[in-house]
Structure 1
Amino acid sequence: MTALSPSPEIAAPARRELPPSMVERMTLIMDAFAGRSTRLTLEDVARCTHLPRSTAHRILDQLVRLNWLEHTSFGYRLGQRALGLGGRDGSHGEIREAAAPLLHELQIKTGMVVHLAVLDGAQVFYLDKVGGRFATSVPSRVGGRAPAHCTALGKAILAWLEPEQVESRISGFISRMTNRTIGEMGTLHQELHRIRQRHGLAFERGECFPNIACVAGAIRGYEGPVASISLVGDTRTPLEKVAPLVIDAARQASLSLFPDLATPRRARLMMAVPDQTWSSATMNRLLETGQNGDWM
């Protein structure tokens, strides 16, 4: 009798690796955003995570609905919920890091006090202060606040917001700090219009604190202003001489935080971020000084 040869074992089909869990997929997507300034398209996210485009799109929509991400005309970015995990410092650390060398350079060049601030409701929140000999006489501190409508820092940011946004933030909080403070919304809107006409240069002389004068420019991102930089002196300081330095520092900080702003398409959508330092002659043509030396 012929022995039957044993039949070869049938190899079991390779076990198919299960796709990552929803939590793992969300983590892959969130890890793709390196920081506050990162902007990614749907295609960017799918490529970075190796997730199917449809899967990435579905999860991105969920993350946007839950405020972990925001969806803008430039793509996706970290939302307020993600930025808030690290507290106030978590959402502003990149701004401070980008601006720090520029603030020190401004202080060395001018000998004046330099401020960095963000808008927080109807107030500005001071992120940094670099002082010279005049620093102790300037009533500001890191972590402190001041009304946005009567500071150059605040007006520089407000000038690039929609009028409705300005109304929702400031209306109800506008009040006079000194006899030079803007006290009505109509007057504030006129001032913000003049700031835009000056390519974003904001001035104040004795509006927030008597005998203190400031010039400021906004650090702007893809969707609008994110912070502002100011130089501070007394009311006799010829701020027009240092104004170009402020605008140039704000521009450099913008490009450090948002490198893609240097591309022509982004620059157009940004509404004309100054692309070079202005000469004194150009600044003199841009600035309009009243007979009393006011910047109103």
Structure 2
Amino acid sequence: MTVTDLVSTPRDAARELPQSMVERMTVILDAFEGRAARLSLEDVADYAGLPRSTVHRILHQLVGLDWIEHTASGYRLGRRALGLAGGDGGRSEIRAAAAPLLHQLHLQTGLVVHLTVLEGGDSVYLDKVGGRFATCVPSRVGGRAPAYATAGGKALLAGLSPENVDGLYSPRLRGCTDRTVGDLPALHQELNRIRRRSGLAFEHGESAPGVSCVGVAIRGYDGPVAGISLCGDTRSAPLDRVAPLVADAARTISRTLYPEHSDRRRPRSNARIPAGPPETTAPLVAARAG
């Protein structure tokens, strides 16, 4: 059940200038046809058939109540509307779009595959696919870990502004192992390295001893919406060679979830190879060349 179900308003009624506040809110929410919709103020006003100033005032109130979110790309459905519509804020849709790619990555690499979202300062695991090594990775669907300690989490954090990252953590960070980044300045340095590698994140024993991962963010209209990562034994996982596979999977999932956005941002054929850590750069170039 959605907010729009509370008052049934046919689309044609939008042009009849509804008088009550509930009617106006309903017809404005009806303008958003799903979680992917991004509308300008003018778009909403045109759909609703209401004065621009009226729509702006109502949208401002809806933003304050989390029914609508205002982003750089326009207005979109907010946490409350998505929660009522899908029960989980769109996570089921992300998981469904990613599921075939997660299994494909596992079959291609034999490594453990994670799908995560950012909740506060934590990575929450939406899915996990793996073979024998999966039991050695202390993660579970529905569980969580500090985002700064995981490859998928760091890829998500790298898509945020430094100010937003600062708002998630205290200056000192809780360590999962003796290799976990320990404070905010060190975390910002790591996130800058990830941005210079075009979003490719690595972690070696930072979330659990003996486990290494490579991760990339799945991007939406306004930034990262989920993280996808491959994990394996630190001693043998070929993260340098599988990194391009993770990046390709993330782009494919993004195109599935946001086809219009992806069409506008198709990668150029002469895109620069990300500059990875010293031990991974050469094999990564070789993998892409092959």
What letter matches 1:24 in structure 2?
E
- The Cα RMSD (Å) is 2.6
User: Which stretch shifts more, 240-249 or 255-264?
Assistant: 255-264
**Residue 207 (structure 2) pairs with residue 208 (structure 1):** yes
Shift in Å at residue 173 of structure 1? Answer: 6.1
Runs of 4+ with deviation above 4 angstroms: 50-55, 273-278
Return closer, same or farther for 1:136/1:18 CA change in 2, 3 Å cut-off.
closer
Q: 1:240-279 alignment to 2 at 5 Å? A: 240-264=240-264, 267=265, 274=267
Identity, in percent, stands at: 61
Q: Match of 1:289?
A: 278
1:68 maps to which residue? Answer: 67
Between Structure 1 and Structure 2, the one with more helix by share is 2
* 1:52 positional shift: 4.9
1:37 corresponding residue in structure 2: 36
CA gap 1:116/1:159 in 2 versus in 1, 3 angstroms: same
Secondary structure at 2:113 match in 1: strand
Any idea what the Cα deviations from partners look like across 1:92-139, whole Å, max 9, x if unmatched? 222212222221221222222111111111211011112223222221
Q: Structure 2: which amino acid aligns with 1:257?
A: L
Pairwise mapping of residues 45-124 of structure 1 onto structure 2 (< 5 A)?
Answer: 45-85=44-84, 89-124=88-123
Counterparts of residues 177-216 of structure 1 (less than 5 Å): 177-216=176-215
CA contact (8 A) 1:149 1:170 kept: no
Per the TM alignment, residue 34 of structure 1 is displaced from its structure 2 partner at its CA by: 2.6
Distance 1:223 1:18 in 2: 32
Report the TM-score, using the length of structure 2 for normalisation: 0.81
- 8 Å CA contact 1:248–1:276 kept in 2: the answer is no
Question: Shift in Å at residue 170 of structure 1?
Answer: 2.3
| Counterpart code for 2:38 | R
Specify every segment of 5 or more residues in structure 2 that has no aligned partner in the other structure, as ranges: 1-15, 281-290
Deviation at 1:55, TM superposition (A): 4.2
Partners of 1:159 and 1:61 lie apart in 2 by 29
* Length-normalised TM-score, structure 1: 0.79
The alpha carbon displacement at 1:39 in A equals 0.7
Q: How far apart in 2 are the matches of 1:115 and 1:62?
A: 37
Aligned residue pairs total: 264
Rg larger in 1 or in 2?
1
After TM superposition, give the deviation of residue 142 of structure 1 in Å.
0.6
Specify whether residues 122 and 62 from structure 1 end up closer, same or farther in structure 2 by C-alpha distance, changes over 3 A only. Answer: closer
Q: Secondary structure at the match of 2:29?
A: helix
Letter in 1 for 2:254: S
Distance of 2:119 and 2:261 partners within structure 1: 24
